[in-house]
Chain A
């Protein structure tokens, strides 16, 4: 980029190069767009929540235990992801990789349970075509699940780069950005947990 020479050695590694700083700002902006995207999905879900047609309602299907396990897995993964960034600030490459791998395992566990839930619903006869309510349920949760899955794939790529190249301003900014993404997905899940599952089970 036309601005790489502008280096600030006193900042944390990920903020040292101008490219790193721009990428982080750009990613925050992207997260703004992601908020708009998920807001639209949530709004559509709310608009169609009562439209179950001949299909079952939420509280006939949801199971609190499963959702609690998924929530704990994802919340914990956000915590371990934070520790990974803490290790990065301490310039400990090994620590970053270990904590990120733990994060990914927790994330994969979450995805596993989500797939189990979807398959379970389909076996019970609830699919994308059951009713407007369930269409939006699968699309909203599917979009979040797809984001988590892409995040897992992405972070694996970054860990390979990290192992090969060590902690540099460039790898550090990449890992930092992936952590922002991961935390963001956690925040979205909190809304899904509250607005889809808890409210769905109360109604």
Chain B
């Protein structure tokens, strides 16, 4: 690729210049602070090379919050541009880049890592395990995700962002119509992060199947663990499809194959199919753990066991199967036969049945419960009606004939924001607030949290509800501007106000984190809400020690910790401790991932030699890992006694 240096670094746009300067200053500030406080060794040993699932979980969540900020800024830029007709805030090219990165970042670098972070922290605790099945792999998963995320994010300051939409449909995304490095960033960054997700899938699948504590049969697992198990299964079968699809498009763009191109008898529709064969299960990958989180929160704060546990499990499994059978509904209008459209229309509508079962089960869980209206519970309560609106409009979209009307309009945009925000984002907030004391030893301030909640859900509805009507009025998605004569001005302006309310709520949420870190009372017990039902609340201290449980708990039924409290048992006390075997830190994953990122960066600009050198580097780190026979270490009984004595309980 012939790039001049002045094209390499993006120049000439005040917004991007501002971002470049703030990134530079931010990086200098972080490096300076770490050096001044002599924290480099601490950072390296305690965090970056840690294989502790809890620390990895926190790093995932921090990255996700950062990406929520980045993707949120993208969203606000979109809404600002659309606030009035004929705005000149973003030029059309820049607008294309912003909505493309908004989609990719929110789905792949915000929703997924946020949920995977919560899963990392909570699931091993809920199954009464001391770590995951493959702690080393867990660290590698995080770093491949992180490097993929970093690579994707530098695109907007170096070389230019992808601009073919988050779906990157061919032939638009081929070299012919999307020259330049942006689309290469998309392909390689998601590829690297996707490998990490696949490894997470395998890791947690095996962890949940093989490492549950004594007595915890599959049907005694918490609902969050169940949804995680099924999510991981979907990841295992869906992500390889993405891997192949991305690899094929990469070959088209970098090595001259003609698979999705208009030359050489290629077939652009193959990309669309492959993308959604992964893409639709992906939707369920980000919604099933959210269902799990709501199940936990609703049953906890309604002080009742989850209603119809078995029906919940069956409906999750049904959803996971159906999720692989609906992908064509994303392109009903793109020339399928009526038979094909009918089939996929029916399978799509069928998904609403198990989902409806779940909605009713949550309602019945609350029925006659003594409900505490805490912040996480408010998020869970808000989820139900908002998600139903998203779901019902989804059934409208599922009718293939009607979809010819809705396709590619703001009706669709509103639909998927309703399901993804009120499903996944609400769950991320709810889960983070609910488990926050388990992670940091203190709660988030409830009062500020409620302010953030109310501003967010009102803003959310103000932003997206008008978009249904804009869509029915015929406003297409992905247009950078419109005219006064279109008649969309009023609703667009209202929608923009809502978007900024959500931005404000996010700021309040961040302020709450800082405020609570300074002023919230520290938790004295492991059961911060006093209502905990599952084993994550059964640890001896508010933040679990690195080995989680001094003695592995035993389980006899559902809601094991509730059971222990009722029987007055404390399994963590007055027992003979035995030495605990724990894994060592690992430095190769971060090194390997950084090399991967460097190699991919070279390939983005067609500098093949960097790719080759990087490939060799990756193999060298893999060989080093193969010859590494480090078996971990034992935590001595004295150390366990000391740690447990210090525990607050």
Contact = CB atoms under 8 A, between A and B. Distances in A.
Interface in B186-241: 198, 201-203, 205-206, 209-211, 236-241
Contacts of B203: 26
Contact of A40 (B205, B255, B256, B274): B274
Chain A interface secondary structure, helix, strand, loop or mixed? helix
Interface string A35-75: 01100110010011001110100000000000000000000
A1 interface: yes
A1 B583 contact: yes
B213 to A, nearest CB: 11
B240 A161 contact: no
Nearest to A165: B629
A132 B265 contact: yes
A11 interface: no
Contacts of B267: 47-48, 51, 132
Interface string A134-166: 011011000000000000011001100100010
A1 B257 contact: no
A161 B627 contact: yes
A21 B210 contact: yes
A124 interface: no
A158 B626 CA distance: 8
B623 interface: yes
A55 B258 CA distance: 12
A51 B239 CA distance: 27
A34 interface: yes
Contacts of B201: 33
A131 B258 contact: yes
Given A2-B580, A37-B244, A132-B258, A22 B210 contact: yes
B245 interface: yes
A29 B202 contact: yes
Contact of A33 (B129, B236, B258): B236
Interface string A10-44: 00000000000111011001101110110011001
A32 B239 CA distance: 11
A182 B239 CA distance: 22
B335 interface: no
Contacts, number: 139
A195 interface: no
A33 to B, nearest CB: 5
Given A1-B632, A26-B134, A170-B629, A135 B202 contact: no
A132 B261 CA distance: 8
B198 A2 contact: no
B206 A22 contact: yes
Interface string B539-579: 00000000100000000000000000000000000000000
Contacts of A138: 257
Contacts of A157: 623, 626-627
B129 A2 contact: yes
A123 interface: no
Contacts of B274: 40, 44
A157 B628 CA distance: 12
Contacts of B80: none
28 contacts: A1-B133, A1-B583, A2-B131, A2-B135, A2-B547, A2-B581, A4-B632, A5-B581, A22-B211, A26-B133, A26-B203, A29-B205, A32-B237, A33-B240, A40-B274, A44-B244, A47-B273, A48-B265, A128-B251, A129-B258, A129-B264, A132-B258, A135-B259, A136-B259, A139-B259, A158-B626, A161-B626, A170-B629
Q: Which 8 A-B pairs have the closest CB atoms?
A: A53-B265, A135-B257, A2-B130, A37-B240, A51-B265, A36-B240, A40-B244, A132-B266
Interface of B: 129-131, 133-135, 198, 201-203, 205-206, 209-211, 236-241, 243-245, 247-248, 251-252, 255-259, 261, 264-267, 270, 273-274, 277, 547, 580-583, 619, 623, 626-627, 629, 631-632
